[in-house]
Structure 1
Amino acid sequence: MWKKHYLVGGLESLVTNIQLGFGSKRKILKRIIAEHWNPGTAHLPLKIQAQNISNAVCNLFAERAYNQSLTGEWIVYAQHEGQNYYLCLALHKEGDDPKKVNDIIFDRIKHGCLYEFPFLYLQLGIDQNDTTD
């Protein structure tokens, strides 16, 4: 099994990448706010201060794009005889428990793809004669 990131358009993807750009403990966000909302910028109208903060935050997304570090969701595929077989799309936040994401994706593929792609039995280590589940 293989997975690659694909970038989903929309607000959720934008927010996720900006949050990642903030860094651990939002250090970068705190730095941006401190740079643009401090006694030295007190003479600026609040609208301008807010706009400067907004621009700096949006630049985090642009920097991640420039550095090719945008993150998205997953497209899961299997390789067989030199071909890629695309099996499902998956979110990083599948289910309630982040530790079970791979299990959820595995079950989705097991229940939705084995009939169409029998070579998956071997790749997934599933007995073709097992009728349970």
Structure 2
Amino acid sequence: MNEKSPSTNAQKIFINSVDKTEELQSFAEAMGLNRTIPGRYSSLFLVDLFAHMEIFGVNPFKIMHEVEALEGCGRASSTKPPSLFDKLPLRGLWHKHYLGTGVPGLVQNIRNGLGKEGLEKLIIAELSGGEITPEMMNKFTHELVHGTYIRRAEDNKLTGEWIIFAKHNGENFYLCLGGHTWGDEYIAARIRELCVPEFPFLFEDHKPA
């Protein structure tokens, strides 16, 4: 049974045929992976964390904040509680949202917060009753963006991309990152290829289909 973390695993990690093992080990230490979840993160999770920072500009500490919250050693999370995948091909695995970077994540949370009729109700509440003034528009914009987002944060309902993990003997094992637009089949294929060989004991009862 191999429960070693990538930082202690003798196997090298290559990205685009370039040996990134040493760089990734240093990155893992800087992120506190070996302090927070020693032996419980896959090489794929480490590479995903690094790639999201390098390629997509995602702040990796946002992801680690959610990991620490799951582990009970950090600040409380403002995103949705972790939930179990109940459909194939990811059935039996868990996911936790983390806040991504940029406008798309903000827009999605505002859209979710408003719901089907929220925008119409807000327009009636803030912009009805006569001539629309700049002050009214400023208040409307502030409530639309800031108010909606803050309420979802206070209710722990912010959504985002996914941290995908498995549970084993009361502990979380972190497999990879993912998201709504990635496609469950693609995520499952990555886990089958790269995580099952590394942590086979996690998949004795269920393997990504």
**Does the CA-based 8 Å contact 1:41-1:49 persist in structure 2?**
no
* 1:73 Cα offset (Å): 1.7
1:80 aligned to 150, 164, 168, which one?
A: 168
Change (3 A) 1:29 1:111: same
Q: Secondary structure at the match of 1:116?
A: coil
Q: Which whole-Å CA distance do the structure 1 matches of 2:127 and 2:105 have between them?
A: 27
Q: Given the alignment of the two structures, is residue 35 of structure 1 paired with residue 125 of structure 2, yes or no?
A: yes
Tell me the equivalent position of 1:7: 99
RMSD: 2.0
Q: Secondary structure at the match of 1:79?
A: strand
User: Structure 1 or 2: larger helix share?
Assistant: 1
Q: Which whole-Å CA distance do the structure 1 matches of 2:102 and 2:205 have between them?
A: 34
Q: Which whole-Å CA distance do the structure 1 matches of 2:136 and 2:98 have between them?
A: 34
**Does the CA-based 8 Å contact 1:64-1:70 persist in structure 2?**
yes
Tell me the equivalent position of 2:142: 55
* 1:108 Cα offset (Å): 1.7
Structure 1: give runs of 5+ residues left out of the alignment: 95-100, 127-133
Q: Which whole-Å CA distance do the structure 1 matches of 2:130 and 2:125 have between them?
A: 8
Q: Given the alignment of the two structures, is residue 118 of structure 1 paired with residue 200 of structure 2, yes or no?
A: yes
**Does the CA-based 8 Å contact 2:192-2:207 persist in structure 1?**
no
Cα displacement string for residues 57-103 of structure 1 (whole angstroms, at most 9, x for unaligned residues): 12011111111111122111112344321111111122xxxxxx332
Q: Which whole-Å CA distance do the structure 2 matches of 1:66 and 1:41 have between them?
A: 33
The one-letter code matched in structure 1 to 2:163 is I
Structure 2: give runs of 5+ residues left out of the alignment: 1-92
| TM-score (norm: length of structure 2) | 0.49
Q: Which whole-Å CA distance do the structure 2 matches of 1:41 and 1:51 have between them?
A: 16
Cα displacement string for residues 11-70 of structure 1 (whole angstroms, at most 9, x for unaligned residues): 22211110001112xx110111122223x240x53x323212211212011111111111
1:71 aligned to 142, 156, 159, which one?
A: 159
Which deviates the most, 65-74 or 78-87? 78-87
**Does the CA-based 8 Å contact 2:105-2:160 persist in structure 1?**
yes
| TM-score (norm: length of structure 1) | 0.73
Number of residue pairs the alignment of both structures matches: 115
Identity over the aligned pairs, expressed in percent?
Answer: 36
1:103 aligned to 185, 193, 203, which one?
A: 185
Q: Which whole-Å CA distance do the structure 2 matches of 1:84 and 1:91 have between them?
A: 19
Q: Which whole-Å CA distance do the structure 2 matches of 1:63 and 1:70 have between them?
A: 9
* 1:121 Cα offset (Å): 4.4
